[in-house]
Structures are given as C-alpha cells and as structure tokens.
Amino acid sequence: MKNNLSIRDIAKLSGVSVSTVSRVLNNNGRYSEATKEKILKIAKENGYRPNSLARNLRKQASTFIGIIVPDISNEFFAKIVKDCEQLLFSIGYLAIVCNTERNPELEKRYIEKLSNHMVAGFIIISTNATTIRNLNLTLPIVYIDRTPNLGENSISVSSDNYLGGKIATKYLIRSNADPYMFITKTIKQSTTEDRISGFKDVLIKENIEGNRIFSLNTTSDCVFSDLREIRKYLDTLIEKRKKIGIFAINDKVAAAILKVAMSKKIKIPEELSIVGFDDISISKTAAMPITTISQNTSSISSQAVNALFECLNKNIQISRKIVIPIELIKRATA
C-alpha cells in the first residue's frame, strides 16, 4: 500500500528531515527551491497523502462540519444540504450529514458524537431547539429554517415566512377569492407558525372573519396517501358558491388539493385559487403549475455557510438573525 507512506518516509526518501517535508507540503517557506522540487517529486511518485487526522489533531482543528437535518429525502432539505455541502467543500470543509427523523433522542446522540472533537461547527436544519441547550457546546452553530428561541448567542437563517403568509393571502384576496388556509399536523414549528400568523394578520386587517384554517389530520409527507379529508373540506367550501382561495401550508398540500379539485372538475383558478409555499419541484410537475411562495434555498445555504465561516475564522460566537426574502411565483393555480 503506497498510501501508508508517512511524512517520515518521504523525509527518509528525500534525505531531509520531517520538518522540512512538512514545511514544503504546507508552503510554510524556509526551504530552498531545490529541496522543494525534490520533496514534491518524491511525494508525488509515491502517491503520498497527508494524514488529515494527524494534522487536525496536532493543529487542534477539524475540517468537518456536522449537518443535522430531519430527513434529506425531503426535497426542500435536500437542496439546502446539498448547497451547504458544496459551499463547505469549496472552502475546505467536509460535511457529515445526519438524518434525525425529528427524533430528539437521535438528534442528541448525533450532536454528542460529532462534538467529540470531530467537527468544527454545526449547521442544524429545522431542529427542536431544546435538545441542543443541554449539551452546552462551545462550537459555532448555525440554525436553518427553524429559529430556536434561545437567549444565547446563536445564528439563525430562515425565510421570511410571516411575510410569505401575508403575500399569499393578500394575493388570494386581491384576486377576489375568499381566503382559507390548509395546514397539516406538525410539531410546533416557528416556520409554520409564522406562515399562519401572516395569514391571520391579513384577515384581521381586511376584516375577514370566522375560523378559516383547516387542519388536516396528516403530515405533509403523507398527505397524498389519503385524500378523503381534503375532498370533504373542498365539498364544504364549494357549497358556498363563491370563489375560493386556498393558501396551502406548503407545495405538497397544495398539490394534493389541486389533485382533488381537478378530479372534481372544479375550474382552476376561476372557481378555486391555490397558493403553495416552498417552490419545490412538485409545483412544476403537478397537473397544473402551482402558484407558490418561493423560498430561496441557495441564498439560505450561502448565508448559513458564510456566517459559520465567519465564526470559524474569528473564533467567536456571533449572534445574528438572518431573514431571507421570499417571492411570489405566479403560475396557473392562482
């Protein structure tokens, strides 16, 4: 195995000391051009690879970043993880990805394990904040999507969910639709709460009354497995013989509503307008392109990585709340 060569072997082979080899390999100066050439040549010939573990140990540093995420098979999360990973790699870090399934116990175990001097910092996507607090970590952490209500120093990056909720609702009202919102069963999340707040605040401002939020007894990931509930609610709404406007908590729910509506031959957007949230691919692949509030995932990722990078370099824990603008994407459903 040529791979097992150490810096000492290279030193021996080149007839110099290990420190010289190290200096050459790290471009630390204080060596002659001739030795440099020689060492580099020998290192290359032998396929020398520096042992990053040893280097990290010596430098008391790590080139790993832990990315904690509920589930990368969720497209929205996958995009963010992917972007973060690629940005991290471009600045010399590697991403250790951990799927927690929103299981707080598992999440805790991941974070503990990664804290064992393995990672330089964390990017934590959509977490339950409470589990983190107990670990009294000193590593920099950037939270994405869900903002934990920690008083401590922390960085959070998320879309302007509140404004998104408002814009979607206003748009529905402006197109003369009677606004309703469809949400799913979900653990209390700041993002969802914010979208709902946006919706409610517009209703108040416009003096629209009544309970206009329909809560589906399913999660967003399973919304397609049983459409009967949506069908029932839609029947209720259609009876009113007014143009209906539905703000769906996310694109999956919007797509499910669209599917039911089309099977009922409801005219979209004439009789029913739908606005989703997230702008994931389903809003393009659905039978009709779905109007939605787009989250700028690449901006989220780059802001998160930048903030983390800043912490890492300055070696301080900064406190910052970064809000990423959202955008209404007008397509066919509203």
The binding site for a second copy (CB under 8 A) comprises 1-3, 47, 49-54, 56-57, 62, 64, 71-73, 75, 78-79, 81-82, 85-86, 89, 94-99, 110, 112-118, 136-138, 224-225, 252, 255-256, 259, 262, 281-282, 284-287
In the complex, the smallest distance separating the C-beta of residue 200 from a second copy, rounded to whole angstroms, is 29
In the complex, the smallest distance separating the C-beta of residue 10 from a second copy, rounded to whole angstroms, is 14
SS3 helix, strand, coil % of the chain, rounded to 5?
Answer: 45, 20, 35
Q: Tokens for 147?
A: 């903002």
- What does the alpha-carbon distance between residue 43 and residue 93 come to, in Å, rounded to a whole number? 24
What three-state secondary structure class fits 242? coil
The one of a second copy, DNA, none whose footprint includes residue 149, by CB under 5 to 8 A per kind, is: none
- Within its chain, how far is the Cα of 186 from the centroid? 17
Closest CB to a second copy among 67 and 202?
67
Region of 27-35, 125-133, 160-168, 206-214 interacting with DNA (CB under 7 A): 27-35
- Within its chain, how far is the Cα of 143 from the centroid? 9
Region of 58-66, 125-133, 262-270, 314-322 interacting with DNA (CB under 7 A): 58-66
The one of DNA, a second copy, none whose footprint includes residue 18, by CB under 5 to 8 A per kind, is: DNA
Q: Tokens for 178?
A: 């009677």
Cis bond upstream, residue 179 (ω within 30): no
Task: Tell me, by CB under 7 A, how many residues bind DNA.
Answer: 30
The one of a second copy, DNA, none whose footprint includes residue 217, by CB under 5 to 8 A per kind, is: none
Q: Tokens for 59?
A: 């430098």
- Asked if 25 is part of the footprint of DNA (rule: CB under 7 A), the reply reads yes
CB-neighbour burial class of residue 96 (10 A; exposed 0-12, middle 13-18, buried 19+) = middle
Closest CB to a second copy among 40 and 137?
137
Residue 70 identity (one-letter amino acid) = P
- What does the alpha-carbon distance between residue 133 and residue 81 come to, in Å, rounded to a whole number? 23
Angle, alpha carbons 147-148-153 (nearest 5°): 100
The one of DNA, a second copy, none whose footprint includes residue 20, by CB under 5 to 8 A per kind, is: DNA
In the complex, the smallest distance separating the C-beta of residue 49 from DNA, rounded to whole angstroms, is 7
- What does the alpha-carbon distance between residue 125 and residue 157 come to, in Å, rounded to a whole number? 9
The one of a second copy, DNA, none whose footprint includes residue 319, by CB under 5 to 8 A per kind, is: none
Q: Identify whether the C-beta of residue 291 lies closer than 8 Å to the C-beta of residue 334.
A: yes
Residue of 27, 44, 60, 265 interacting with DNA (CB under 7 A): 60
Residue of 40, 50, 178, 302 interacting with DNA (CB under 7 A): 50
Name residue, tokens 């116990």: 105
- What does the alpha-carbon distance between residue 143 and residue 154 come to, in Å, rounded to a whole number? 8
- Asked if 54 is part of the footprint of DNA (rule: CB under 7 A), the reply reads yes
- Asked if 138 is part of the footprint of DNA (rule: CB under 7 A), the reply reads no
Give the footprint of DNA on this chain (CB under 7 A). Answer: 4, 6-8, 15-20, 22-23, 25-26, 28, 30-35, 50-51, 54-55, 57-60, 117
